[in-house]
Amino acid sequence: MYLKGKDVTELLDMPSAIQALRDAFAARARNEAVIVPRTRWTFGDKRLNVMGGGITKQGRYALKSYGAGVYHVMLYSAPGLLAIIESDNLGQIRTGAATAVASEKMARRGAGKVALIGTGRQARTQALALKAVDMLKELAVAARDRGRLESFCAGLKDELAIPVRAAVSTEEAVTAADIVVTATNSARPVVMNAWLKPGTHVVGMGANAANRREIDPEIVLRASLLVTDDIEQAKTEAGEFIDLAKAGRLDWNKVKPLHEIVTGPSAPRGENDITLFKSLGVGLEDVAVASVIYDRAVASGRFSPL
């Protein structure tokens, strides 16, 4: 079965993606799921990225590959290939869902003021995901391009039906926030430790390569709880963590994998604790939402195998 981007948009909603990730990481906690970290292959000036994951109890596995702006997930079961799914929209939705799954366990109770840094392709679904788990009451957005920022905020205000404003600066957005989400590909930190009020939850989800850094390293050191979606992938992609570990300032044992906090009650935290989720995007997230999309496509009766 070949499913296009428009099919993904029709078949996958945010609440279902969030629940699929909750279930997938719970399966990982039971050793019933696997993550194959991303590999980046270069061919001259071209690059191909490949990653994978599987949920063994479901008997579903997936390979995701992307390069030159083209994204595909190949979903398998034990008998063979089930579907090839265009996954640009899929990736945006599942990355937002991962933020929601982590934040509902890590953020302070009652958190609802969110600062979103960036207006790129991943930013919108970050807001949609936090709204879906009732953790977004007010949104301040910061970005360099003022015209694009104003347009982005106007669109989100209509879609979310909550107060959305274009912040004067990143600092101004961050200082008032309960939750801060960075959605940039910056090589330098865009959120500084001095700006965070006590009790802030930070999500760094844009910089998923070793040469990118969105978060002030002092925030990493200040955080009482550090979580990432996969430790092994973080050791090659989480630039903020890698730098500190190489300098002997961060012990990798302090970083928890997401699957350790998704089951049971919210992670223990004090009202003034800073928490940080470093979101990289892993293949387990792709197989989880690809399965939802495929099952709904089959149930609809409108999509047929090639």
> What is the predicted pLDDT for the residue at 219?
98
- Per the CB < 8 A criterion, the answer to whether 297 and 83 are in contact is yes
Does residue 53 sit within a domain?
Answer: yes
Residue 84 sits at φ, ψ, to 5 deg, of: -115, 125
The 8-class DSSP code of residue 169 comes to S
Which residues does 203 contact at the CB level (< 8 Å), separation at least 6?
Answer: 99, 102, 103, 126, 179, 180, 181, 182, 276, 277, 279
Same domain (yes/no): 83, 120: no
Provide CB contacts within 8 A for 295, sequence distance 6+: none
How do beta strands 33-43 and 2-3 pair?
A: unpaired
Same structural domain, 129 and 83: no
Residues 75 and 152 in one domain: no
Please state whether the predicted TM-score (pTM) of the whole model is above 0.85: yes
pLDDT (tens, 9 = 90+) of the chain, 306 residues, equals 999 999 999 999 999 999 999 999 999 999 999 999 999 999 888 899 999 999 998 899 999 999 988 999 999 998 899 999 999 999 999 999 999 999 999 999 999 999 999 999 999 999 999 999 999 999 999 999 999 999 999 999 999 999 999 999 999 999 999 999 999 999 999 999 999 999 999 999 998 888 899 999 999 999 999 999 999 999 999 999 999 999 999 999 999 999 999 988 877 788 899 999 999 999 999 999 999 999 999 999 988 776
Angle between helices 123-132 and 14-29 (to 10 degrees): 80
Identify whether 157 is part of a domain. Answer: yes
Question: Which residue range(s) make up the domain with 78?
Answer: 2-91+284-300
The total number of structural domains that make up the chain: 2
Q: Tell me, what CATH number does 170's domain have?
A: 3.40.50.720
Using CB atoms within 10 A of its CB, is residue 57 exposed (0-12), middle (13-18) or buried (19+)? exposed
The answer to whether 93 and 125 have CB atoms below 8 angstroms apart is yes
Is the domain of 156 the same as that of 254? yes
Same domain, 151 and 168: yes
d(CA 7, CA 135) in angstroms, rounded, equals 28
pLDDT score, position 181: 98
Phi, psi of 3 (to 5 degrees): -115, 130
Based on the fold, state whether residues 120 and 194 are members of the same structural domain. yes
Q: Is 306 part of any domain?
A: no
Which among 68, 37, 42 is positioned nearest to 53, based on CA atoms? 37
Structure token digits, residue 185: 């590909």
Same domain membership, residue 169 and residue 78: no
Distance CA(202)–CA(248), nearest Å, equals: 23
Query: So what's the pLDDT on residue 264?
Result: 80
Q: Distance (Å, rounded) from C-alpha 201 to C-alpha 275? A: 5
Asked if residue 155 and residue 236 are part of one domain, the reply reads yes
Q: Note whether residue 72 is domain-resident.
A: yes
Contact 280, 237 (CB under 8 A): yes
Give a yes or no: residue 215 inside a domain.
yes
Query: What's the CATH code of the domain at 73?
Result: 3.30.1780.10
Of residues 236, 230, 197, 193, the one with CA closest to residue 215: 193
